[in-house]
Structure 1
């Protein structure tokens, strides 16, 4: 799009020299969010979420336990039972993985990991799973990470940032004008100000 020799910007500016080029507003917002998530605490929380998603998705047996935990423990209205790994570059795709993780975090994920580490405490999920030592060790490690203050604070801040999903999607609409975009941004800014005051 922005190539100096054969990009769309160059071709248009040859015909209309006064035309100005600027990046897509949604793309710029995405870049800003990805940059803000380069803070070490956020990177650690994102890494933990991704590792846990892969931990369950790479094993049918572990995924079956998570499915059972969702069925038995989860009180949320969500029908999600499979974690998804977060996309490194696209913020909108990260939001879905955070949302699913949050919906399952306190009940199903925690119960599944605890059942792997301490199967006798979770007879409602079954005790005959026969977990290997590596699974038990990793489950204990994930439980420790999920309960750390650094993870909890970082993850909740990431959850607040998911309020930008609607804005990102609105900024990507085909028929958007400057006034609509400005109003959408103003609405999100006022929501953040309200959250900060609370």
Structure 2
């Protein structure tokens, strides 16, 4: 079971109802669900990450209408008629955070084109929301946050999926958790280099999509002297969490 109050409640919760029928039943808070909650906590423990996930959910809600979805599909079909994708929200199921980020980055150019068209809509509400979303998804910090989130979520995605499967082999799951722990420790140990790599990737991504970044794009950074560059990198790094709560949870397992 998950850890929600209506499940674990000892008087009227699902636990209490099951115990009436099967007194020897043991309430177990699903470890796959707990892992996912910790991942969600890491994703939301810094304002930049929380804002990024919030923007993805807002975009999902906005594009869910038939007409707006039709505009999005139209731009995808111009590129490929075989593999249309739907924007996902970040909280629909345990694996949706990773898929939401992955799909957004895959179809970013089509989302940009769709919002440009929708901001010229005759409907004031559609136009205003599209214009606001367009501005926010072009922000360098937003894109950088998504690349960091994808790197973190990629480490735990396989474990989250496998632990939800029916008829799991305990030995296999134990090895998978150890493998996940090793990936997280390697990611944390290499944090500085990975951050620089992701920063470069996010700027290249924006450049590829013809989005003008702020003053601190990579071209500007390399004009700074070493002290200025190091200070800038430290300021950026301090904005983003690097795995401590998640690593502590994994270490316990």
Q: TM-score, normalised by structure 1?
A: 0.71
How far has the Cα of 1:54 moved from its partner?
A: 1.7
Counterpart for residue 220 of structure 2: none
Residue number among 52, 56, 60 corresponding to 2:63 in the alignment: 56
Alpha-carbon distance in 1 for matches of 2:149, 2:179: 19
The residue correspondences of 1:7-156 to structure 2 (distance < 5 A) are 11-12=23-24, 22-39=28-45, 40-58=47-65, 60-73=66-79, 79-87=83-91, 90-105=93-108, 107-117=109-119, 130-156=121-147
Counterpart for residue 179 of structure 1: 171
**Using a 3 Å threshold, how does the CA distance of structure 1 residues 51 and 168 change in structure 2: closer, same or farther?**
same
Preserved CA contact (<8 Å) 2:57 2:89: yes
Alpha-carbon distance in 2 for matches of 1:56, 1:24: 33
Preserved CA contact (<8 Å) 1:78 1:103: no
How far has the Cα of 1:109 moved from its partner?
A: 0.3
Preserved CA contact (<8 Å) 2:87 2:103: yes
Alpha-carbon distance in 1 for matches of 2:99, 2:59: 15
**Using a 3 Å threshold, how does the CA distance of structure 1 residues 149 and 78 change in structure 2: closer, same or farther?**
farther
Runs of 5+ unmatched residues, structure 2: 2-7, 195-253
CA deviation digits over 1:160-194, x for unaligned, max 9? 23322221121223433443222112222333445
Alpha-carbon distance in 2 for matches of 1:84, 1:184: 26
Preserved CA contact (<8 Å) 1:34 1:91: no
CA deviation digits over 1:114-171, x for unaligned, max 9? 2334x7xxxxxxxxxx543433332221121112233112222222233222211212
Counterpart for residue 248 of structure 2: none
Runs of 5+ unmatched residues, structure 1: 14-19, 120-129
Residue number among 133, 148, 155 corresponding to 1:157 in the alignment: 148
RMSD between aligned alpha carbons?
A: 3.1
**Equivalenced residues, count:** 176
**Using a 3 Å threshold, how does the CA distance of structure 1 residues 73 and 194 change in structure 2: closer, same or farther?**
farther
Counterpart for residue 127 of structure 1: none
Report the 3-state secondary structure (helix = DSSP H, G, I; strand = E; otherwise coil) of the residue aligned with 2:63. Answer: helix
